[in-house]
Structure 1
C-alpha cells in the first residue's frame, strides 16, 4: 500500500511520524491531510529515506534544488559536490536533471548519498537517447522507480486538445519546458497522442507499486512574463486537475507543477486558480520569476516571486540559481539559489502563520534586543555568511555592531 492508501486506512506510518515530528504537527493531522490529498510524503519503498518531508497544506514551505550533469559538463563528481552544498544550505529535496552519457551513474550516486527526497524527470533520459515511444518511456520510468527515486515529473497534461492551444498561441517564447518540448515535438512528428496521457492509468499502476509520487509537469509553463496566464497554460492546468483525481482514485500521491515567468500582479491569481482547479493538491512552482531581465541575478527575481506564491498557497519552491538562462550552475550558484529560495519560503511561512516560523523569528528578535551575537549567529538562516560578515565588519569584540557603535538604539533604550 502507498502512503496515501495507508493514511486512508487510518494507519500512521513510521515516515509520517518522523516527518510530523520535524514539522511540529500531530501525526494524526498529518495522516488526515495525506488521506485528503492536500499533503504528500514522497518516499519510495525501494529505499530507506532518512529525512522524509511533508509537502502541502499546513507544512512549512519546502525548497528543492536542481542538480545534474549535461552534455557539456558530464562529470558526476561535480554534481555530487553540488549535492553536498545544497544539503548543507538546507535544501529539502533534490532533483537530478542529468543529461549526457553518465546520467544513470549520476542518479545512482545521488540516491546513495541523499537523505532527503530525490526527484527526476525520466523523459530527459528517454529524450537523450532519442526514443520517446510508449514502451521506451515506460521502461525508463520503471528503471527510475526501481532505483529508488521518490518523485518524478511527468508531462501528462499535454494532449492533442492542449496542443491546439499552443499552436494557435501568439506566445513570445513558445515552449520553454525541456520535457514539454520533447513531448510536443514527438506528437507533431508522429501524429500520435502523448503516451503519458493516453496510458495514464498504466502509469499509475507502475508508480503505485513503488509508491513514487507523481509531479504533474507544466510542459506549457510561461517562459516570459508576457506569456503568463495565457490559454495554453490554463488549458494544460485544466487537464492536470482531471489527472489529480484519477491519481487519487488509484491511491497515488500527486502534486502539480506551476509557472515559470509571471508578473507580480498575476502570481496570487495563478496560485488560487491552481488550488481550485487541482482540488487542493500541493503546488510546486519554479520561481516564479517576476521579470525576464534579471540574468545573472535570477535567484533574486525567483525569490521575489516565490515568496508571493508561497504566501498565496504554493507549497514547494524549486530554486533558481544566478546561472539560470546562462549556463549550468556551479556549486556557488547552487548555494546562492538554495539560500535565496529558503528566505522566500520562510517569509511566506510567516505570512501563512506557521508557528514554527514565527518562533524562529521571535527568538532572533529577542537575541538582537539583548545584543546576544552568538545566539543571533546560531539563529541566522545562513550561519556561515553571517559569522564571516560579523567577524570581518566589526573591530575587536565590542558589544555593538560597527554601523551605530556606541549609539546603538538597542543599548541606549532598555
Structure 2
C-alpha cells in the first residue's frame, strides 16, 4: 500500500521549515512522502532581501540549495510552479519550466497529493497605482532584489560623471514605511558609505537623498507608537527624508507624484507599500479574501477542503479575538511547528489543534547604525523595549532561529563561526 503524499507548495521560511520538520518526523520514518514544490532552486530568508538588494548579503553564501537540503532531511524537492488545482482528483497542474532563453526545460505536468499545504508567501500590492509596475522596483524575491542591486550600482556609477546625472543629488524614493521600507532606507545610507570607500563612486551621504513615503500618519504603522517614534527620530538624524500622510498617485520615470500634486524627483524607485497573496490563488477554486489570501479555519485547513492547508502570508487564519494572524516571520515559524503536528494527527485520524499566535515582540534593523524593538512575554500587553547593541543582537538571533529550524543546532553553530570569519576575510559588500 502506497504511503500518503504531503505536497508543500512554496519553499519560503514557513514551507522549508515545515518540509524539514515533516521530513524528520514522517519522511525518514516512511509514514508519508514529503514533497516540496518551488519555482526556484534555492531559498533565501525573505526578511534579508533588503540586504541582498543593497549587496550587504551575499546570496551565494546564505542561500539554501533545495536539492542538497532535501536529501539530508527526508523530503523530496520538485522544481515547478503551481498553475492549477483539481480538488476532485487531488491533482496539481504544474506549469512548464523555461530556461533563461525561453527554451522548455520541463513540460507541463501533474502531481498528485493526499494533503496539500499552500505556503506561497506574499508579493507587494501596488493597489493599481499608475506607473508603479513600469517605474518601481519590487523586492519580493531574490531575483528582484538582485535586479535592484544592479540598477543601484549603475546609478551610483553614472553619478561619477556630472553629464549623466538626472539631478544634483542622487535620489531614491521608497514608497511604504513598513519594516522593509525602513530597513532599506537605513541600508542605502550605509551602502553609500561603502561604495564611496571602495572607490565605486564619489557620492557620499551628503549627496544622496532617501525619501521614505508613507500614507499612514506615522512610519511602521503596524508596530507600537514608541518603536515608530524612536525609529523616526533615528532615521531623521541619519538624513532620511520622511513623508507621512503622503499617498502616491502615480510613478513616472525619475518621479513620484503624490495625490496632492507634489513631485518628488528620484533616480530609483522602490515600492514596498502593502502586501497581498499571489493573484493566481484566486483562480484555484478556493475561498480567498480581498488580498487573495486563502481563507482557513484556525487549524489552518481551507474552509472549502479539509485536505488542503494554507499558512503564512498567503493565508487568512482567524484567531479567537476576531483578528487574523499577522504576516510576520515569527507567525509563520509558529505555524510551521503546529502544522507539522496537525499533519501527523491527520494521518492518524486524530483531532487537529487550533493555531494560536503568540506575539513575541518586534524588531527593526537600521543597518549598522542601530536596531529598535521590544520583546513581549506570551500573553503580555507590554514588553521590554530594546535599543542599541542588545536590540542588534536580538535582531541577528532571528535569522539564527530560522537557520536552526532548517539546519539544526550543530550546523547553525558552525555557520555562525564561518560568518564571523568571513567578516574579516571578505569585503562587507558584494559589488557584482
Larger strand percent = 2
Which structure dedicates a bigger proportion of its chain to helix? Answer: 1
Q: Report the TM-score when normalising by structure 2.
A: 0.29
TM-score, length of structure 1 as denominator length:
0.30
